[in-house]
Structure 1
Amino acid sequence: MKQLHFILFYLLLPFSLMAKQSVTLEGVITSDGVPVEGVTVKVERSPIGTVSGAEGEYYLSLSTGTYRVSVSMVGYEPLSKSVNVSGDTVQTLNFALKPVEGGLEEVVITGTMKEVNRLETPVPVEVYNHQFFKKNPVPTLFDALQLVNGVRPQINCNVCNTGDIHINGLEGPYTMVLIDGMPIVSGLSTVYGLSGIPFSLIERVEVVKGPASSLYGSEAVGGLINVITKKPQQAQRLSADVFATTWGEYNADLGLRQYVGQKANVLTGINYFNFSNRIDHNKDGFTDMALQDRISVFQKWNFDRKENRLFSLAGRYLYEDRWGGQTDWNRSYRGSEEVYGESVYTKRWEVLGNYQLPVREKMFFMFSYNDHDQNSVYGDEWYLAKQRIAFGQLTWDKQMGKHDLLAGAALRYTYYNDNTPATANEASKITMPGIFLQDEIGLATKHRLLLGMRYDYHSQHGHIFTPRLAYKWSVTDQDIIRLNAGTGFRVVNLFTEDHAAITGAREVVIREDLKPERSVNVNLNYIKKLQLGEGNLLGLESSAWYTYFTNRILPDYDENPQQIIYSNLDGHGVTRGISLNADLALYNGLNITAGGTWMNVFNKERNDDGTMEKFRPILTENWMGTWAVSYTVRPWNLQVDYTGNVYGPMRLALLSDLDPRPEYSPVWSIQNVQLTWHAAERFEVYGGVKNLLNWTISKSVPAFEAGEGAGVRSPVTRAFDPYNERVVYGADGQIVPTPNNPYALQFDPDGYAYGPNQGIRGFLGIRMTL
């Protein structure tokens, strides 16, 4: 009997081995085409697992059957796939990870002007990658920043819809915008520089809140935004993103990577946007949204050099034609008093580069040049301006024991000329050389100290010194405390910054020779990362800040409704607040990014009695919130995104003591929903609804009860009389109330501008990559 059992065992053994045959499941884990090392690979409901190697590769030994394999790593969204393991001896299953917004493992540049791990830098830097901005597709980076906590895109004109970026309650001129670390978006171009940057070329956007003048010089007072473009060798060979809305907006992004010979990689990006519909939903006779026709071409070259030394060269050209105004306006009325329109022609080109010197030391020469030509007309008021900025900077990066040194010398030349009294006699030509030194010291394993200083010489204002200090304590690998303190300065050119100053709606009065603004800032930051079970990640980041300003320059809209009065504040200004960001990525496909900011912004100025009087500046909210909720329905390859923001009341500029409109804006919110179907690995179809609540600024403006225009809700005051032909003025120049104008108002397209006037709309688009 035993012999029979042995015979049966040996006869059935081959079939048993076939049934339990071992199969190797292998693959590569990447993120944006780059291999990721150290990723946990696990077969669900089993003890089988491994970790990816240096090239992102992994290997699992499995028997035949159906499995679900998951991958996870701090800083990336968890991902899982089903696989049917058959009789083949080797099968392949690859994974493409998406970084979690604000991941500690991300590389950042902005805080210290060198590439460092976000976990290691003493300077708090918020990072938003291109995947984050896909949750709410928009035609410009200006619009995309509405999802960033503490950052608010401010619409400054209800007619031409231009705007700037507010950070922590500070006006747009306090925000510096960089592209690949180059200060090429500033002054006149701040309003337009964030338009036309192709999203197909954006790798990530880094945001630093608080003064950064010790590294970047003037304008980096409220904070800075650094747009990092993709490296050509890491970009997709071809990418395209096209969408349209039910309002008739059309946007197309195209990216193309090429090899030129054996030594160069080239990345080309083209963005085109068109909106040509004259929409007037609030029936005030003016377009609700400015018509735009814009094209931007960007190209970036990376050259292979000996010893992997860096040499990159990039250029961009932008042309935009935008106008808004009375719906029957056409180009024949440009600059006339017959039909009101605001027409802006913008031509801009820029070049920037980074060259590593062929020496033993780590030295880089960065350079940029931009030329901005603006031909604008606001009714019958012409604004013709040219701005050219040349910038060069040499840095030396040196590691000496526990000291990580960065030293540099910079030279910035700014040419500005327009047809306003600002340059009535001659063009403004400013030369500003500067030097800076930064030392990051490793005090101990968990403690780092950064000391920095910058000295600049302004050709008009003389010597400027800005010191800086930053301290980081890594309590654990997932708990980080940072303390930053520093000073900032800003030199002002009013006519390049304040739209209301150039539209002619009010007379501009400059009471004195304006001195540069100065500030002192302290910021405390805490980051906490939690692993909530297998594949669930929670990130928390909170900040508290305090900034004290002297010589602050503010437009005074209150003293005389007919004027904008500029002078240095005889007192001081303060902005202080706290913010909290939370990022939750769950294994089941749910991802939540949410943030809230409370701020208290005020100024104190000496009044006629000699006492200090506290007041709140206009267009400054006390609180705001943002969110982005995403859920992936894995069986359908469908992603659902719900994004939005909410803003607290802002003080607005009224036109007279009789003006019946509220002095403060209401609480308002813009909310959006999007569905994205991943039809294939490199093909997506997306669509949804923007502004679900159909909120517009017109709905928050009460209708006037008497006089001309009664019953119309419009943020453009006296839209029916844009040249004030029926406004009566007294001997003192003030408006006299009349039966047709009982509130003593005049035409004003800007004073009540604080939000969009574009209502609910649907959108549909496709993305593809090769």
Structure 2
Amino acid sequence: MNSKLFLVISSLCMLLFLSWGVSAQSSIIGSVNDEANPVPFANIYLKETEKGTSSDGNGNYELTGLQEGKYTLIVSAIGYAPYQKVITLTKKNIILDVILRPSTESLEETVVTGTLKAVKRSDSPVPVEVYSPTFLKKNPTASIFEALQNVNGVRPQINCNVCNTGDIHINGLEGPYTLVLIDGMPIVSGLGTVYGLSGIPNSLIEQIEIVKGPASSLYGSEAVGGLINVITKNALEAPDFFADAFATGWGEYNLDVGAKIDVSKKTDLLLGVNYFNYDELIDNNGDNFTDLTLQDRISIFQKWNFKRNKSRIFSLAGRFFYEDRWGGELQWTPESRGGDEIYGESIYTRRWEVLGKYQLPIDEKLMLSFSYNDHAQNSVYGDVPYLADQRIGFTQLTWDKNLGKHDLLVGSALRYNYYDDNTTATVNADEVVIPSLFVQDEIALAEKHSLLLGARYDYDQRHGNIFTPRTAYRWKVTDNDIIRFNAGTGFRVVNLFTEEHAALTGARDVIVTEELEPEQSFNFNLNYLKKIYGDNGTFVSLDASIFYTNFSNAILPDYDTDPNQIIYDNLNGKSVSQGVSANIDVVLPSGFKFLVGATFQDVAQTEDGIKSRQILTESYTGTWNVGYTFREIQLSIDYTGNLYGPMRLPTLGENDPRSDFSPVWSIQNIQFTYKKLSNFEFYGGIKNLLNWTPNRNNPFIIARANDPFDRNVQFDGNGDVIATADNPNALTFDPSYVYGPNQGIRGFFGLRYRLD
């Protein structure tokens, strides 16, 4: 008995000892990030032990089986200064998120949009905002067009209640003032902006660079308000295979699939396919019109990278895009297309693009860039057809040369524009070739001072010689304080009917009162960038700007003179866009991250001494992105949103009961992302949490939705509408009163798979 009792006691003591040993072990769990993105494959170890690991593809790490005590944690990664922190381990697990600071020798974010040269973002004399796929994932959308709603100072504007096409506003300027580039090539036109920002899988995007303000001296016409440059990955950075699919409670389905294919030892291929479908008839505002346009869209993207001697560049990319979209009365069918019984707006779009870069095989750095796109649109608006073809060809040769303190860029470009449609305004096809010359010199004045001088010359046979100079000054006060000043001129040659095609075939007639001259602008921008690195791993970035642009010969739509017309002429006065903008980016060791931005702007035109606000332009806007990650379970929460101040709206005169100004409105979203399973991400959440739609406090959104062909509208001898019992407010059918999406609250769920 004594021996048995001794054996039992001994076993219990051993169990207690083992349980104490296990409980005495601790873990360190966390993530490794830089200023904005995860840092994968960073080396992590405890200096006093042999314990170590590395962060995974999402920047997460875990050190387990650690005894209590004091240790020195070391984290290192290529391109970053080493991180060191003394920690004391107890029986509790420690959650530690590490923020790495770029080393002075490393290549930080590289940007090309501001100067056409690949430079570190802090070294660019032109302020460039950079957004990564990680930013896009925080509020997943079916297109980049929608994703930009959370970028401060940038607003996707829906221009048609029925067909839901739109454009991008930057600092309050209309969409035609924004140039959209893909890999630096200006292949997206006014007719195709909304399509150019659709169908590129997020996993193939390296980053999106945004320049706010004119850049005509480098990019020519259309670059008056700003630039959006979508840069795709090269083969070294792309995953071997990826898939991303999500669905929403409204019945939207989006699928991105892609792969990296090694064609040969010297040839790599990136292939991506995007498919989007929405075919639900939803009419929550009760006007018998679709709240959201039905769409069936496919886009196929491929990019070839060729390895050459001395690492010279040669890449070739192409994309095919097809979409069938329609909106209108709920009883509309394809058989009703073009008829005058049931109103619908149906658009068939076929578009293909090709673009490439080739570095010439000589010692000097000469780069040949080229692109071509063909955009065909077959559409009907009610019973009015709109058939349009547009082709844009572009080629550019640049010479990049360093000469002592001078960093030179000299280039020549040739642009071919072709446009034709079936309207009476285009009797003959508009076809023009525009040659250009430009030069840019960035001068290193001193260790912390640089000056950029640039100029561009274009010849347009319709308007003659066009000269656009610019200058930029950068003062690097410290490594973490940078002041930039930019000034210059811009120009825009207007192709009105590619920019107002919806208006052409809607309820309003487009009237051009004179031969339109090119718009010209003068602008300046003062930017301050401040970065703060705390000893505890906190990172804070402040990016603030003051902007001013003055337009002469401005061409703006006049919705007010005649409610049945949109009148265009050159403004006999001035149009000014001015304001301030700021972004604050904060990353805390606790796992919290937030990016908050605000823009206050005054966009108005003055004619005959009378100042008026530009239509569809908010006076202030705010955006936010708040995130937190529970590292132990690898669950992230992202809360994103925007806020817009009132904007003037296109009503149909004094008797129109709809509000002349929009209210303050906001779209807010929340998302949960789970990354515990290797190679998989599960995400879901709610979009438009407040269930905001523009019909709030309005009797209707579409005027005369019950009579879209104006059969029961009576006119007097002057063409003015007569008030009747059926039409007491003297209105005509008008779907142009739109400033935000009609899509209300909805849930969504998605799955991502990535194989490296």
How does the TM-score come out when normalised to structure 1? 0.87
Are 1:633 and 2:635 an aligned pair?
no
Query: Alpha-carbon deviation of 1:203?
Result: 0.9
Contact 1:387–1:416 (Cα < 8 Å) also in 2: yes
Amino acid at match of 2:118: E
Map 1:361-380 → 2, pairs under 5 A? 361-380=364-383
Show the counterpart of 2:741. Answer: 756
- What SS does the aligned partner of 1:278 have? coil
Show the counterpart of 1:614. Answer: 611
Show the counterpart of 1:706. Answer: none
Contact 1:650–1:665 (Cα < 8 Å) also in 2: yes
Amino acid at match of 2:723: P
Show the counterpart of 2:473. Answer: 471
| Cα displacement string for residues 447-473 of structure 1 (whole angstroms, at most 9, x for unaligned residues) | 011000000001211100000100000
1:590 equivalent among 573, 592, 602: 592
Structure 1 residue ranges (4+ consecutive) displaced by more than 3 angstroms after TM superposition: 28-31, 34-44, 46-52, 61-81, 95-100
Map 1:178-193 → 2, pairs under 5 A? 178-193=181-196
Separation in 1 of the partners of 2:190 and 2:65?
A: 65
- What SS does the aligned partner of 1:720 have? coil
Contact 1:160–1:342 (Cα < 8 Å) also in 2: yes
Are 1:689 and 2:696 an aligned pair?
no
1:722 and 1:63, CA in 2 relative to 1: closer, same or farther beyond 3 A? closer
Show the counterpart of 2:753. Answer: 768
Are 1:157 and 2:160 an aligned pair?
yes
Contact 1:236–1:256 (Cα < 8 Å) also in 2: yes
Amino acid at match of 1:504: G
Contact 2:298–2:323 (Cα < 8 Å) also in 1: yes
Query: Alpha-carbon deviation of 1:504?
Result: 3.1
Show the counterpart of 2:643. Answer: 646
1:672 and 1:35, CA in 2 relative to 1: closer, same or farther beyond 3 A? closer
Gaps of 5+ in 1: 1-18, 20-24, 86-94, 607-611, 704-713
Separation in 2 of the partners of 1:165 and 1:305?
A: 38
Are 1:668 and 2:665 an aligned pair?
yes
Map 1:429-444 → 2, pairs under 5 A? 429-444=431-446
- What SS does the aligned partner of 1:505 have? coil
Question: 654-663 vs 445-454, which deviates more?
Answer: 654-663
Contact 1:665–1:700 (Cα < 8 Å) also in 2: no
Show the counterpart of 2:521. Answer: 519
Separation in 1 of the partners of 2:697 and 2:219?
A: 40
Contact 1:78–1:535 (Cα < 8 Å) also in 2: no
Contact 1:467–1:486 (Cα < 8 Å) also in 2: yes
Contact 1:78–1:97 (Cα < 8 Å) also in 2: no
Separation in 1 of the partners of 2:352 and 2:574?
A: 38
Amino acid at match of 2:131: Y
| Cα displacement string for residues 615-644 of structure 1 (whole angstroms, at most 9, x for unaligned residues) | 111101000000000000111100000000
Query: Alpha-carbon deviation of 1:519?
Result: 0.2
Amino acid at match of 1:337: D
- What SS does the aligned partner of 1:232 have? coil
| Cα displacement string for residues 334-376 of structure 1 (whole angstroms, at most 9, x for unaligned residues) | 0000100000000000000000000010000000000000001
Give the aligned length: 707
Map 1:692-707 → 2, pairs under 5 A? 692-701=689-698, 703=699
1:313 and 1:96, CA in 2 relative to 1: closer, same or farther beyond 3 A? farther
Amino acid at match of 1:767: R
Query: Alpha-carbon deviation of 1:233?
Result: 2.0
1:637 and 1:79, CA in 2 relative to 1: closer, same or farther beyond 3 A? farther
Query: Alpha-carbon deviation of 1:68?
Result: 9.7
Amino acid at match of 1:723: F
Show the counterpart of 1:487. Answer: 489
Separation in 1 of the partners of 2:358 and 2:187?
A: 17
- What SS does the aligned partner of 2:614 have? coil
- What SS does the aligned partner of 2:581 have? strand
Show the counterpart of 1:234. Answer: 237
Separation in 2 of the partners of 1:147 and 1:585?
A: 18
Are 1:677 and 2:674 an aligned pair?
yes
- What SS does the aligned partner of 2:473 have? strand
Query: Alpha-carbon deviation of 1:422?
Result: 2.7
Contact 1:77–1:585 (Cα < 8 Å) also in 2: no
Separation in 2 of the partners of 1:505 and 1:62?
A: 68
Separation in 2 of the partners of 1:104 and 1:662?
A: 52
Show the counterpart of 2:457. Answer: 455
Separation in 2 of the partners of 1:596 and 1:74?
A: 34
Query: Alpha-carbon deviation of 1:77?
Result: 14
CA RMSD between the two structures:
3.2
Show the counterpart of 1:505. Answer: 507
Map 1:117-128 → 2, pairs under 5 A? 117-128=120-131
Show the counterpart of 1:270. Answer: 273
Contact 1:696–1:758 (Cα < 8 Å) also in 2: yes
Query: Alpha-carbon deviation of 1:70?
Result: 7.0
Show the counterpart of 2:3. Answer: none
2:702 equivalent among 706, 716, 733: 716
1:555 equivalent among 554, 557, 572: 557
Query: Alpha-carbon deviation of 1:658?
Result: 1.1
Contact 1:74–1:105 (Cα < 8 Å) also in 2: no
- What SS does the aligned partner of 1:191 have? helix
Show the counterpart of 1:741. Answer: 727
Show the counterpart of 1:730. Answer: 716
Separation in 1 of the partners of 2:107 and 2:538?
A: 15
1:419 and 1:633, CA in 2 relative to 1: closer, same or farther beyond 3 A? same
1:427 equivalent among 429, 438, 445: 429
| Cα displacement string for residues 573-597 of structure 1 (whole angstroms, at most 9, x for unaligned residues) | 1010000101001111100011000
Are 1:290 and 2:276 an aligned pair?
no
Contact 1:167–1:209 (Cα < 8 Å) also in 2: yes
Contact 2:316–2:355 (Cα < 8 Å) also in 1: yes
Contact 1:74–1:537 (Cα < 8 Å) also in 2: no
- What SS does the aligned partner of 2:649 have? coil
Show the counterpart of 2:321. Answer: 318
Contact 1:319–1:346 (Cα < 8 Å) also in 2: yes
Separation in 1 of the partners of 2:135 and 2:82?
A: 15
- What SS does the aligned partner of 1:546 have? strand
Separation in 1 of the partners of 2:117 and 2:633?
A: 42
Gaps of 5+ in 2: 1-20, 22-27, 90-96
Amino acid at match of 1:728: Q
Show the counterpart of 2:575. Answer: 573
Query: Alpha-carbon deviation of 1:739?
Result: 1.5
1:755 and 1:68, CA in 2 relative to 1: closer, same or farther beyond 3 A? farther
Amino acid at match of 1:503: T
Contact 1:40–1:49 (Cα < 8 Å) also in 2: no
- What SS does the aligned partner of 2:223 have? coil
- What SS does the aligned partner of 2:603 have? strand
Show the counterpart of 1:247. Answer: 250
Amino acid at match of 1:620: T
Query: Alpha-carbon deviation of 1:42?
Result: 7.0
1:276 and 1:68, CA in 2 relative to 1: closer, same or farther beyond 3 A? farther
| Cα displacement string for residues 525-569 of structure 1 (whole angstroms, at most 9, x for unaligned residues) | 000000123211000000001100000001111111111111000
1:423 and 1:62, CA in 2 relative to 1: closer, same or farther beyond 3 A? closer
Identical residues among aligned pairs (%): 59
- What SS does the aligned partner of 2:203 have? helix
Separation in 2 of the partners of 1:731 and 1:535?
A: 74
Query: Alpha-carbon deviation of 1:192?
Result: 2.1
Amino acid at match of 1:677: Y
